[in-house]
Amino acid sequence: VKPSLDPPANGGANAGIDASPLLSVRNIEVVYDEVILVLRGLSLDVPRGAVVALLGANGAGKSTTLKAISGLLKTENGEVTRGEIVFDGERIDGGDPVRTVRRGISQVMEGRRIIADLTVLENLRLGAFTRRDKEVARDIEMVFAYFPRLKERTGLAGYLSGGEQQMLAIGRALMAKPTMILLDEPSMGLAPQIVDEIFEIVRDLNARERVSFLLAEQNTMTALRYADYGYILENGRLVMDGAAGELARNEDVKEFYLGISA
C-alpha cells in the first residue's frame, strides 16, 4: 500500500490533533536499584495525533521516561515509585511490555537495536509478533512504501548503513500497528541529510497513518522543526515546555541548548 503523494486531507501533520491526551504522564518518580532517583515529579501529555519532542542533554532522563512508558524499566532494575502513566484512558505504569505493545505503544530504542543476523524482512516480521490478524504482508509493503531503500536490501540487517538501520527500526515498530511510537534519539550518529529524511518520514507517518510520536532527542532544533510541542528536561526535572515554534524562538533555549546567544 503506497502512501499517497498528495497532501494529507487534514492539511498537515498537526492539523488533526485531538486536544484530549492519548498519553498522560502524571507526576512520576523513577528509581533505579531502589536508591537512585532519576525522574522527579515529571508530567507530560501527548495529544492524540501529535508529535511531541522530549529534549535535553545526555543523562537528563529522556530514555528513562520512554522506558517508564513502555514498561522496559524492569529490565534495568528500575521502577515508577510515584505518580501514574495513563494511555488511552487506562493506567499502564508498571505493566508488562508485551501487553503495552498490544495496547498500541511501540518503542524504537536508542542505538536502533535491530537484529543483525536476520534479514530486513525477518526483522519486520519479528515486529508483528504480537499480532494475530492476516494483514502482516500488506503492512510490510506499507513499510517498504515509506522506506523504499529497505526493499532493495536483501542481505543481513547488520550490513545496513546507520540510516538504513534506523529506518528498519522504525519500520519494525510500525509492524505492531501502534497508535503511538516512542522514538529514542533517532538522529544519533547520522549525517544531517539522513536525519532530515527520517524526520520527514516521521511527519508523513504522523499525518497519513495517524501515528502519534513521543521522540527523545538531543538535536533540539531539528526535533522542534518537526514537532508540535516540546518538553525540556534537566537532571530528571521538567524545566520548560511549550509549542515547538515558541521553544525554537526562545532565547534561553538557543543559549543553553545550542550555545547561541543574542
Residue 3: what pLDDT? 45
Residue 136: what pLDDT? 92
The grid cell for 37 is 532517583
Residue 9: what pLDDT? 36
Residue 95: what pLDDT? 87
Residue 253: what pLDDT? 80
Residue 147: what pLDDT? 94
Residue 258: what pLDDT? 56
CA torsion sign for 252, 254, 259, 262 is: negative
Q: How far apart are CA 129 and CA 125, in angstroms?
A: 7
Residue 261: what pLDDT? 45
> Taking CA 10 as the corner, what is the angle to CA 9 and CA 12, rounded to the nearest 5 degrees?
105
Nearest to 109 by CA among 57, 59, 172: 172
Q: How far apart are CA 89 and CA 26, in angstroms?
A: 13
Residue 257: what pLDDT? 63
- pLDDT by residue for the chain (262 residues), tens only, comes to 434 334 333 334 455 676 679 999 999 999 999 999 999 999 999 999 999 999 998 889 999 999 999 999 988 999 999 999 999 999 999 889 999 999 999 999 988 789 999 999 999 999 998 888 888 999 999 999 999 999 999 889 999 999 999 999 999 999 999 999 999 999 988 899 999 999 999 999 999 999 999 999 988 889 999 999 999 999 999 999 999 999 999 888 877 665 544 4
CB of 202 closer than 8 Å to CB of 227: no
Residue 251: what pLDDT? 85
* Residue spans of alpha helices (H) in 89-147: 97-103, 120-127, 136-146
Residue 254: what pLDDT? 74
SS3 46: strand
